[in-house]
A = this chain, B = another copy of it.
């Protein structure tokens, strides 16, 4: 079948706040071809990613993403990979292309799955999907007391694993960080899996990060996430060599499979975190999962918006039985929740299951999409290159 149309929908909460909550807006992608419809999502700046899809060509290696996608034939997963290779050359100098293409690529897998009547993980070659243990992903409280309460609530809600990140962590004294981590452990109890996310706060300052290792080991934290800039593989590698029980986690910034491999090979992380909405979609994420298995690294999804994005992010490691932990947005904004008509909910064991219905198995609620839709218009020399389409 032919890729007939690709439409981008920019959704947002009425009031986007200056906080570390990535569920305040979304960029939804709809592809249509052969009577089928597929949906995907970019984890990216919506306006900038729309621009990357429709921008005028600058030269033969700086073409809009649309130039490599529209009108292409697509019948099997090989076709998606072929388009990705063409895009790499056609949009080599368009930095945002990877983020813009990611949502399209995901939508193409959804489309193919629906056409073949198979869930995406089967198209990826997995015989079956194993349940995952979701961790509650949340911000550190402004005070240790607040963090204790947040972790206790997550535990009471049934979560066996909790991640605290960002906020004041790494910005104050060692004592402040120790208080935060101790409070998190107290709230979660001795049994739960505790994860900490530094949000790149130390740049490439290995000493600053190293000073926190004893505090993390004291509370039996499983991982320290993103201590450094996403490209600072050398700093990652040095810190990994100095850690004892704590492993490093990272990779969410990777916008191609190479970068994720480097985070493992040079950065020596124990957990590789991949956002399908950034790395170029599900195809490259699956290749990263294969490399992780070979390298003894655990694959984890990175997801903080809708359950459409969540389903996409689970597919690349759905069939890896031993890679069990998964990121699960615990308190998304109304937009991120309501844009999907069905959801991936923890069962009575607190585990989540990849949908078994064709494609990604998530239905978009077009009425709710309309409610959060942002009107965008981009004109260049009098020609309208983009106007928010009808849902």
Contacts and interface: CB of A to CB of B under 8 A. Distances in A.
A5 interface: no
B95 A255 contact: yes
A304 to B, nearest CB: 9
Interface in A99-134: 99
A253 B89 CA distance: 12
A226 B20 CA distance: 38
By DSSP majority rule, is chain A's interface helix, strand, loop, or mixed? loop
Given A48-B51, A52-B45, A378-B47, A58 B16 contact: yes
Nearest to A63: B18
A18 to B, nearest CB: 5
A44 interface: yes
Interface stretch (A172-180, A184-192, A208-216, A258-266): A258-266
A335 B46 CA distance: 31
Copy count, this protein chain: 2
Contacts of A367: none
A12 interface: yes
Contacts of A60: 18-21
A95 B95 contact: yes
Contacts of A371: none
Interface stretch (A69-77, A142-150, A229-237): A229-237
Interface string A179-209: 0000000000000000000011101100000
A47 B380 contact: yes
A282 interface: no
A238 interface: no
Contact of A58 (B22, B55, B232, B382): B22
A236 to B, nearest CB: 11
A84 to B, nearest CB: 11
Interface in A33-76: 43-48, 50-52, 54-64
Interface centre among A45, A98, A278 (most CB of B within 10 A): A45
Interface string A7-18: 000001000111
Nearest to A88: B229
Interface of A: 12, 16-22, 24-25, 43-48, 50-52, 54-64, 85, 88-89, 92-96, 98-99, 199-201, 203-204, 229-234, 253, 255-256, 258-259, 261-262, 265-266, 278, 374-382, 385
User: Closest 4 interchain pairs by CB?
Assistant: A231-B258, A51-B51, A96-B96, A47-B55
Given A16-B57, A19-B59, 11 more contacts: A18-B63, A22-B58, A25-B56, A45-B55, A48-B96, A204-B258, A229-B256, A231-B259, A375-B380, A377-B377, A378-B378
